[in-house]
Amino acid sequence: MDMEEFKKYAEKEGIKITDKTIADLELYLKELLEWNEKFNLTGITEPQDIWHKHFMDSLTVFKSIPEKAIKIIDIGTGAGLPGLVIQILNPRLHVTLMDATGKKVEFLKHMVKILELKNTIAIQNRAEILGHNPSYRESFDVALSRAVALLPTLLEYVLPFVKVGGIFIAQKKDGLEEIETSAEAIKTLGGNIKEKIKIDSEILLERQLILIEKIKGTPKEYPRAEGLAKKRPL
Ligand code: SAM
């Protein structure tokens, strides 16, 4: 069965999966495939690959979310990865799913409605703009982001959203080189590399998490105007 490896990984990691979690994820998968026929939401279209490369890969961040964390933001969430999976796993969290692409956010709003999620907000915006909005800036316990940009650029998108004392959990395929080129961005934006965690899985290869804690406020000039973090990374 497609979800067996997902369940096995969760069990090995001590993450509790209920029948409701599985039912919600099955509905998510079904809707994702249906919407994907009209809009390009994901390049992964085999149900088994969705269980592995999307759902299980999203699950890898779950244990790194501190127990006392409540407010989570997923930046460049696309079709809801990893943020929507994390919300389904723990409905107690307040998850903000943010992406620049309108169709993806439309899909997320649809999912929030049909999954009857009470604590989820889906918002269309760019990190460079929303990061200056006082209702969002430095107000999240945890930020997540997968497959959005190289680390020096990503840090400028993400760290402005994280509270001092909060963390950014970056999912990276091979992040070591990116860490080396990120020293300036980390220092400038108020971060500190706390930990690197290698994902232990025979299915998800070469995956790691980079945990960056926010140790001081981000200067107000960051993020810079749209496009600059990517064009001229710190
Ligand atoms: N996180 C999802 C995943 O892992 O499947 C989506 C990854 S997709 C390759 C990158 C996403 O980041 C796109 O949906 C894009 O719209 C979004 N994105 C890129 N730059 C962004 C920015 N500056 N602000 C907000 N979203 C951005």
Average pLDDT over residues 80-97: 98
Neighbours of 65 (CB within 10 A): 18
pLDDT per position as a tens digit, 98-140 = 999 999 999 999 999 999 999 999 999 999 999 999 999 999 9
3-class SS of residue 109: helix
Domain ranges (residues) in the chain: 2-231
3-class SS of residue 224: coil
What was the pLDDT predicted at 1? 58
Average pLDDT over residues 61-79: 97
Counting from 1 in the atom list of ligand 1, the atom nearest the Cα of 74 is: 1
Q: Kindly write down the DSSP assignment for every residue of 202-215, as one continuous string.
A: SSSTT-EEEEEEE-
What was the pLDDT predicted at 175? 67
Counting from 1 in the atom list of ligand 1, the atom nearest the Cα of 125 is: 25
Residues framing ligand 1 (Cβ under 6 A): 76-78, 81, 99-101, 104, 126-128, 146-148, 157
- Give the distance (Å) from ligand 1 centre to CA of residue 146: 8
Q: Which fold has domain 2-231?
A: Rossmann fold (3.40.50)
Counting from 1 in the atom list of ligand 1, the atom nearest the Cα of 230 is: 23
Are 69 and 86 in contact, with CB atoms under 8 Å apart?
no
pLDDT per position as a tens digit, 134-188 = 999 999 999 999 999 999 999 999 999 999 999 999 998 876 788 889 999 999 9
pLDDT bin (cut points 50, 70, 90) of residue 200 is confident
Beta strands in 14-161 (DSSP E): 71-75, 94-99, 120-124, 140-146
Q: Which residue in 125, 189, 192 sits closest to 160, CA to CA?
A: 189
**What does the block give as tokens for 217?**
């406020």
Which helix (H) or strand (E) segment holds residue 13: the answer is helix 4-13
- Give the distance (Å) from ligand 1 centre to CA of residue 109: 16
